[in-house]
């Protein structure tokens, strides 16, 4: 059984994946920030949810269900995606300003080396799927939509499994 928990905070908390999943798409001048996919909305009466799933004593932390879905999608691939190897000065500003202060360029590189093999990643993806199912069940349908950055009345932009 996968060990998971949901933590609630008054303010949106960035996870290691947030800069790579929730990309800012507005011009940054005036008005509220717009992200694609949208960042999660607070759960009424509780705050912003942060999801933690522990696999082999390594805690995976996600600020939204979009991030959890992206982690599963990437970890299920037999070959990991090519990491951007451009010099740092040519990277977009959001990639230079890593909120976690890490020197590497992608969230996958933060996983311990012993967990990066294809066989380990398949197991991790399976455990993350189990955790996602349990988290969605614990949240309920209305709060699952809010964790995807949608209100209950908005149509879904993509199929959420």
| Tens-place pLDDT, residues 84-104 | 554 555 555 555 555 544 445
Instruction: Please tell me the predicted confidence (pLDDT) of residue 145.
Output: 94
Is the pTM higher than 0.75? The answer reads yes
Percent of the chain with pLDDT over 70: 77
Q: Is the pLDDT of residue 23 over 90?
A: no
Contacts of the segment 140-147: beta carbons below 8 A, 24+ positions apart: 143/43, 143/49, 144/65, 146/40, 146/41, 146/42, 146/43, 147/40, 147/41, 147/43, 147/49, 147/64, 147/65
Q: Is the pLDDT of residue 62 over 60?
A: yes
């Amino acid at each position: 059984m996968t060990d998971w928990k949901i933590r609630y905070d008054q303010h949106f908390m960035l996870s290691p994946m947030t800069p790579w999943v929730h990309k800012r798409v507005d011009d940054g001048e005036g008005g509220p920030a717009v992200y694609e996919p949208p960042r999660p909305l607070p759960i009424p009466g509780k705050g912003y949810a942060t999801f933690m799933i522990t696999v082999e004593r390594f805690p995976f932390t996600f600020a939204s269900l979009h991030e959890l879905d992206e982690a599963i999608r990437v970890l299920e691939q037999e070959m990991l995606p090519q990491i951007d190897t451009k010099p740092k000065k040519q990277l977009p500003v959001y990639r230079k300003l890593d909120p976690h202060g890490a020197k590497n360029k992608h969230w996958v590189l933060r996983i311990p080396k012993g967990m990066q093999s294809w066989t380990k990643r398949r197991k991790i993806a399976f455990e993350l799927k189990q955790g996602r199912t349990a988290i969605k069940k614990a949240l309920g349908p209305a709060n699952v939509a809010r964790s995807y950055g949608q209100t209950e009345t908005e149509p879904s932009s993509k199929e959420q499994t």
